Amino acid sequence: MSSRTIRSRAALVFFVGIGCYAILLCNLFVIQILNSSFFSSLGSHQYRLTITQLPDRGPILDRTGTDYLATNRSCISAFIIPKQMHNPEAMYTFLQEQFPDACKRLNNHKQSSFMYIKRRLTEQELQAIKAIHSSDIHLLEESSRFYPLPSAAPLIGFTDIDNVGRAGIEQTCNELLTGTPMKMLLEKDARSGYFYFHKELQEAGTQSVPIQLTIDSTLQFLMDEELAAACKRYCAKEASALIINPDNGDILALSSYPYTNPDDPQFDFYYTKQRAVTEQYELGSVLKVFAALAALEQKIVTPDEPINCKNSTRCVIDGRPITTWTAHGILPFSDVIAFSNNIGIAQVAKRLGPDIVTHYERLGFGKKVGIPLPAEAPGFINPPSKWSAQSIISLSYGYEISASLLQLAQAFSLIAHDGSFVCPRLLLTDPIRISEQPLYSQESIASIKDILRKTTEHGTGKRAKLAGFDVMSKTGSANTLVNGAYDHDKNIYTAAAIIEKGSYKRVIVTCIKESNVENAFASTIAMPVLRRIAEKMVIHERAL
C-alpha cells in the first residue's frame, strides 16, 4: 500500500472521528444549553418529590375529656386505573355484579388514569374484592369519622367523604379540627421510591386541635332515652330538650329526637338539625313568666294584687277575643301565672304597653345566642311599629314572639342566676360570659321565683315536683302556624324549670311537638318528661 493511500485513509478516519465529536458536541449543546431547563425539570421530577401530610382530624370530646363524641377510624377505599387494566372484561363483569354504579362510571371513563370503585367499603364489599384476587383493583387506606354517641349527632354534625365538616360542631370548628397540611421536599434515588437522601421542610403546617364541649355525654344519653320514650309514649312527631348550668352557662345536654346517625348508610338529612337551636316557635304560656317579670320590674303589679280573670274561658278585651284553658275568678297575680290564665296576664300586659318588647330583648329574645352551631334561629319579636290592637295581648302569653328552646333556657338562666345575664356556652374553652350587673332587681327576681315555686306547688307545674329539690317551673302549650293559620291539631308543648338545692342549680327545658294524645297540655306531656330527665340528672350528678 502506498504512503499516499495510507495518508488519505488516516485523514478519512480522522475526519470521521472529528465528525462524530462534532455530532456529540452538537448534542451536548442542545441538551446542556438549548434544552437545559426542560432536562433540569425532568431530572427534578425524578429526584425530587413534594409530599403533603395532613394531620389526623381532631377528636371532639365531652366535658370530662375521656368520652369521645367524634373520633377517627381507618377505612378502605378501592380504585382502578382504567387505561392500564390487564383484564378489562373480567373487571366489567365483576363491577356489573358488585358495584353497578362504578361500572357505569367506567363505561364513561375508559381511558382515565384513576377511578374510585367505592370509597369507605363495607366489610362485605371488601371481602368480595379480596375474593377475586384481581391485580387491577388497588386498595387505599383512608381516615373516616366515627361517632360513638349517635344521639349526639344533631349537635356534633358530620363530615363529608373528604372529611370536611358539613354540619354541627364539625362544620363550625372545621378549621381547628382539620389543621393545615405540612409540605416536605424529598431528594431521592430515581429508582427507589422508598428512601430519600435529603429532606427539606417547605411548609410547617399546624396540628389539628381537639375540641372539648361542655356536654356531659352520659347526661346527654340519659336525656335522649327519655326523649325517645316520650315520642313513643305520646305519639309525638319530635321532641327536644336541653340542660344548662346557670352558674356558668355550660350546656350540659342538648338533644333532639328523632336524630339521624351519620354512620348509618340510610342517612336522613332532615334530622341532622339540632332543632332546639335551629327552630323557632311561638312558645305560648311559658313566656308569661317574662311578661310577669317585666311587670314586676316596672312595678305596675305586685304578686298579691287581685286580678279579675272574668270567671270564663272566653272574654273580650278592647274588642279582641281572648280564650284561656280554664275559667278562674279573681286571682292574686302570682296565681294568674301559676294557673296560666291568659285573661289575667293580658290585663296586666296592657298596663305594660310597648315596654314588654324592651324587656323581651333584654332577656335575649329576638337575637342569636351565639353558640358555635350553624343555622341558629335568631327568633322574632313583633316590633311596636307593626302592632295591631291584639299584639300586646298576644305578646303577654307567648304569641307574636318566636324563640328557640336555647333562648328560653337562656332567659330562665337569668332568673336562676339572680337577674344576671348568663350566656350559654358549648365549647369548654370559650370564656364564661355573665353580665357584671344584674339586669333585674333582686326584689323582682325573688317575686318571680316565688311565683314559679307556686306553679310547681299547686299550678300547672305540679308534675315537676322533685323530692328534696326546690323546683321553679312553667309550662306552655301553643298552636303552630300552618300556611298562615293556627292549626289546633298541631301543638307545641313546652316546659321549663329551674332545679335548685343549695348551690346546685340547673335549668331544664323540654319541648314535645305534635302529639296525638287527646286533650293534651304541656303540663301533662312536656312536664312529666322534664321531671324524668331531672330525676336522672340529679342521680347522675349525685346532687341528692
- Asked if residue 223 binds other proteins (CB under 8 A), the reply is no
Could you tell me which of 539, 528, 541, 540 has the C-alpha nearest to residue 227?
528
Q: Quick one: how far is CA 491 from the chain centroid?
A: 25
CB nearer to other proteins: give 17 or 148: 148
* Closest C-alpha to 478, from 488, 469, 468, 464: 488
CB-based burial label for 295 (10 Å; 0-12, 13-18, 19+): buried
Cβ closer to other proteins: 119 or 536? 536
Name the minimum Å distance from CB 194 to other proteins.
Answer: 8
Would you count residue 467 as binding other proteins (CB under 8 A)? yes
| Segment interacting with other proteins (CB under 8 A) among 98-106, 177-185, 374-382, 533-541 | 533-541
The single residue among 79, 92, 116, 146 that binds other proteins, judged by CB under 8 A, is: 146
CB 77, min distance to other proteins, A? 16
**What is the C-alpha separation between 500 and 77, in angstroms, rounded?**
53
Instruction: Find the part of the chain contacting other proteins (CB under 8 A) among 26-34, 214-222, 409-417, 452-460.
Output: 214-222
Residue closer to other proteins, measured from CB, 107 or 143 = 143
DSSP strands (E only) in 305-459 = 306-308, 314-317, 320-323, 330-332, 380-381, 401-402, 422-423, 433-434
Rule CB under 8 A: choose which of 67, 136, 430, 470 binds other proteins.
Answer: 67
Q: How far is the CB of 218 from other proteins (least distance, A)?
A: 7
SS3 category, 45: helix
* Helices and strands in the chain, H and E counts: 18, 23
- Using the minimum distance from each CB to other proteins, give the nearer residue, 3 or 194: 194
Residue 470 in the binding site for other proteins (CB under 8 A):
no
- Kindly state whether residue 504 participates in binding other proteins, applying the rule CB under 8 A: no
Give yes or no for residue 221 binding other proteins (CB under 8 A): yes
Note whether 47 binds other proteins by CB under 8 A: no
Binding piece for other proteins, criterion CB under 8 A, among 23-31, 117-125, 193-201, 366-374: 193-201
Where do the DSSP E strands lie in 386-521?
Answer: 401-402, 422-423, 433-434, 470-482, 485-501, 504-513
- Give whichever of 57 and 425 is closer to other proteins, judged by the CB atom: 57
Distance from the first to the final alpha carbon of the chain? 125
The yes or no reply on residue 71 touching other proteins (CB under 8 A) is yes
Binding of residue 538 to other proteins (CB under 8 A): yes
- The piece of 31-39, 44-52, 63-71, 414-422 that touches other proteins (CB under 8 A) is 63-71
Q: How far is the CB of 226 from other proteins (least distance, A)?
A: 11
In the shown chain, the binding pattern of residues 89 to 128 toward other proteins, with x for contact by CB under 8 A and - for none, equals ----------------------------------------
Residue number, 94 or 221, with CB nearest to other proteins? 221
What is the C-alpha radius of gyration for the chain, rounded to an integer number of angstroms? 35
Joined grid coordinates for residue 73: 377510624
Which one of 64-72, 80-88, 391-399, 515-523 is the stretch in contact with other proteins (CB under 8 A)? 64-72
Smallest distance, Å, CB 484 to other proteins?
Answer: 42
Under the binding rule (CB under 8 A), the answer on residue 511 touching other proteins is: no
By CB under 8 A, how many residues form the interface with other proteins? 24
Shortest spacing between CB 521 and other proteins, in angstroms: 25
Q: Is the peptide bond before 258 cis (omega within 30 degrees of 0)?
A: yes
Site stretch for other proteins (CB under 8 A), options 145-153, 163-171, 422-430, 514-522: 145-153
* Cβ atoms of 494 and 412 closer than 8 Å: no
Q: With 0-12 CB in 10 A as exposed, 13-18 as middle and 19+ as buried, what is 165?
A: buried
* Residue corresponding to grid cell 299547686: 458
Distance from C-alpha of 365 to C-alpha of 402, rounded to nearest angstrom: 8
217 binds other proteins (CB under 8 A): yes
Distance CA 266, CA 79 (A): 24
What gap in Å lies between CA 439 and CA 420, rounded to an integer? 6
Cβ atoms within 10 Å of 268's Cβ, excluding its own: 11
Minimum Å gap between C-beta 198 and other proteins is 9
Q: Decide: is 72 part of the binding site for other proteins (CB under 8 A).
A: yes
* Residue 484 buriedness (CB in 10 A; 0-12 / 13-18 / 19+): exposed
C-alpha count within 13 angstroms, C-beta hemisphere, residue 221: 11
Restricted to residues 194-213, the positions that interact with other proteins (CB under 8 A) are 195-197
Residue number with CB closer to other proteins (271 or 325):
271
Cβ nearer to other proteins, comparing 198 with 299 = 198
User: Which residues bind to other proteins, rule: CB under 8 A?
Assistant: 56, 67-68, 71-74, 146, 148-150, 195-197, 217-218, 221, 466-467, 535-536, 538-539, 544
